Amino acid sequence: MTTSDQPGAPLGRRRFALVLCGTTAGMLLLDIHKVSIAIPSIERALAPGPVGVQLISACYVLCFAVTLVPAGRAGDQGRRLALTYAGLYLYLAASVLCAVATSAAVLIAGRAVLGVAAGMLMPQVMGLVQQMFPPAERGRAFGVYGMCVSLATALGPSLGGLLTTSPELGWRGVFMMNVPIGLALVVAAHAILPFAGGEQRRPRGVVDVDLAGLALGSGAVIALLTPFVFTTGKPGDVSARWGTLVVAGVLGVWFVRHSRRRAAAGHSVVVAAHLLRIPSFRAGVLISLTWFASGPGFVLGLTIYLQQAEGFSPFLAGLVMLPSSATSVVGAWAGGRLVARRGRVLTATGMALALGCMATTLLVIHLAPSWVLLWAIPLVQLPQGLGAGLVVSPNHSMTLSDVPPGEGSAASAIGQLGQRIANSVGVAVASMAYYTVVYGGGYSLVDAPAAVHLAGLDHAASVASAFLVIALAVAVADLRRQRRTRAGELVLAAAGSR
């Protein structure tokens, strides 16, 4: 029994812990997006080139994904608090390493370590929410969690952009902002979590982690991303790079067969097939795989375009995103309260809003003069943020709604694994679409004409829109499944009452 099951975990303390968990998750997710604000400055200072820029973005998300499952498994076996503390300390150290990096290689290494810290933390904070709140309270709890995530991601780009604009800090400001926030999270975690239901049973023996499966799955994802990361549009691109997609397929098949054999022998696996048999969990993961591939690529393209083509400062580029992120807080709050009644209708509505606003944003950029963009884009982004809140918070709740609390961290890790793989693929493909237009034309991000940047943004938006359309189709299909299931239950109940 966890302390959240006992009278010793008052609701007030659990609420403080919930805010802490949501804020921590928001900072981890923010690190996926906020680096895009600093990319032009990093290009000027460190000259990483298209491959280096891709790796600065991709290595964080990839290491995040690889660490999730073993960290989730260890958290479920009684090590949740220990991993939370260790992850926060590593997050601090990696942020300092990124902030003081003197070369692109050091920055990439720091981003990789930061990704490992994020992978350690994310399943723990989601598992803590699962552990501290019973099923009847979990929908609203994840609504508050989503609000905290949205608030952190709302304020982060503007603050990061402001720090990047500072002559003393420059691009290092987006990483330096992690340090005081990380210190505050460490202090709060030690002060709150042990008294709010964060304690567990003592660790149960050695953690059973499928290292071979983890290596196969990681290898498949790396092989999948490789051709996109190394596609620059320049004449020197090696055409054989696309052969790694075959390697990804082979490793993927090997991973599935290995997992089946290991599960049949009673051992843990990276992706637990029995959890994927839960319809609500399976649908949530599929939506994560598509929805989370759509956003980061478009944000990256829009942020670079506004700075390099329209002359916005990093602060203004971040400020343009603020209304969207702010309304996502409202969407997350509303989604948490309505998810029990509306379910997948919320996510489908949110996706339709996001798709329409993405198209409208591009239309405004193409047709409106530059001076209009500073107020027109934020105005268009308001309903997009609302839509995002209606997707993310309810999908968290619905994905974990039927998962046993004892497997909360493992299930959260699988869900987050799908999200981070989606982030990796979405950023890699959208970045490739943008960068091949720029670098393939013989330019760099800092000297390409505005028309070239606009063409790059169009390409990146096309990729993001394709992922979003697929996500919407998955949500609609799951909505139909839910309605068929309810109709069948009503028929059985009517037959039983006769």
State pLDDT tens for residues 357-406.
999 999 999 998 888 888 899 899 889 888 888 888 788 778 877 777 66
**Dist CA 460 CA 416 (whole Å):** 24
pLDDT for 97 equals 95
pLDDT along the chain (498 residues), means of 10: 44 83 86 82 87 86 83 80 93 94 94 94 84 76 74 68 76 89 92 70 62 88 88 82 93 92 83 78 86 85 90 83 78 79 85 93 91 88 87 80 70 76 86 90 88 94 93 87 74 67
Which CA distances in Å does 91 have to 74, 348, 416? 18, 35, 18
For tokens 């608030």, what's the residue?
151
Cα atoms found within 13 Å of the Cα of residue 335, Cβ hemisphere only: 34
First to last CA, the chain: 42
Indicate the angle between helix axes 314-342 and 35-46, nearest 10 degrees.
150
Burial class, 494, CB count within 10 angstroms (exposed 0-12 / middle 13-18 / buried 19+): exposed
- Orientation of helix 49-74 relative to helix 11-33, angle to 10°: 160
The predicted pLDDT at position 410 comes to: 67
Three-class secondary structure of residue 44 per DSSP: helix
Report the b/e string of 287-307 with b at 16+ CB within 10 A: bbbbbbbbbbbbbbbbbbbbb
